[in-house]
Amino acid sequence: MESNSIKVLVTGSNGQLGSEIKVVSDQFPMFDLIYTDIKELDITNFNEINLFLNKFKPNFLINCAAYTAVDKAEKEIEISTMINSVAPGLIAKACKENGCKLIHVSTDYVFDGESKTPYVEESLVNPTSQYGLSKLKGEEAVLREGGAMIIRTSWLYSSFGVNFVKTILNNAKIKPELKVVSDQIGCPTYARDLAMVILSIISKGEEHFIPEIFHYSNNGTCSWYNFASEIVEFAGLNCIVTPIESKDYPSIVKRPKYSVFSKEKICNTYKIEIPHWKTSLGNCIEILKLDGLI
């Protein structure tokens, strides 16, 4: 790599977002990307993070690492807290000490879902689950260190990993009917779109890096039922999708009923155009078809 390239460290690089960053990175030849996951870097160990940053001297760090098993988090409190709450603070502290700009990814679960209007970055946080609480504590730990950008996203999916889109596809191939919740409203986010936005922000240079909270999802809103119906239709599967209410779907977690973000701030600040969720879903389904997964 040339000496004037921008060094970017990606933690949690084997997850959905990290995997998509790998895919789109060839569109950013000015970047020297370093990918780590648990085998390469223990983000719960400050000394290890500090030594890693001191050795590789990245200009930016994108923290994609997260404990995302929402239901399991209710029982696995210690590990979800360690990964989602403690580790981000350690990463932020190490970044601060090494002059590295941090972009930390968070979630709509920091809100209680009781709003009737799209959540802005300053909206009151009030998580209703251990997962949401752990992510909020992670945000707070990052903000305490200062100098970091936090990007909250919602309903993330990808052709990689385990997510709602792939779960619906797998079930729709073997079941004649799927029952999906219709009274939870939100914004799906294609991880590839989010990856492009994050790398685009970094490409603008350190002088355009704004250490604040931003919201990002695809445009448009839908229920999980609407989302599932479009997935099945795009894939051309002969499965009936039936709407049900949240009370009819057994879950130990109270999920937000309303997870719609205002994206005005990130659009105005970084002059980005956000695709509609149906457009991005279609793109993801086409990739899954090419990969032989449909």
Provide CB contacts within 8 A for 272, sequence distance 6+.
197, 200, 266
Helix (H, G, I), strand (E, B) or coil at 196: helix
- Helices assigned H by DSSP within 82-223: 87-98, 130-145, 164-172, 191-203
Could you give the CA distance from residue 82 to residue 76 in angstroms, rounded to a whole number?
10
**Position of tokens 């930390």?**
104
Mention every residue, 6+ apart, whose C-beta is less than 8 A from residue 109: 70, 127, 129, 131, 132, 135, 256
Is 131 annotated as catalytic?
yes
The tally of CA atoms less than 13 A away on the side-chain side of residue 283 is 14
Tell me, what amino acid is at 65?
A
Nearest of 82, 6, 7 to residue 46 by alpha carbon? 82
Question: Among residues 265, 268, 249, 269, which one has the least CA distance to residue 257?
Answer: 249
The residues facing 102 across adjacent strands are: 61, 148
Nearby residues of 292 by Cβ (< 8 Å), 6 or more positions away = none
Q: Is 101 helix (H, G, I), strand (E, B) or coil?
A: strand
Biggest CA pair distance of the chain: 58
Three-state SS at 31: strand
Q: Which of 35, 67, 109, 131 is catalytic?
A: 131
CB 246 within 8 A of CB 184: yes
Active site residues: 131
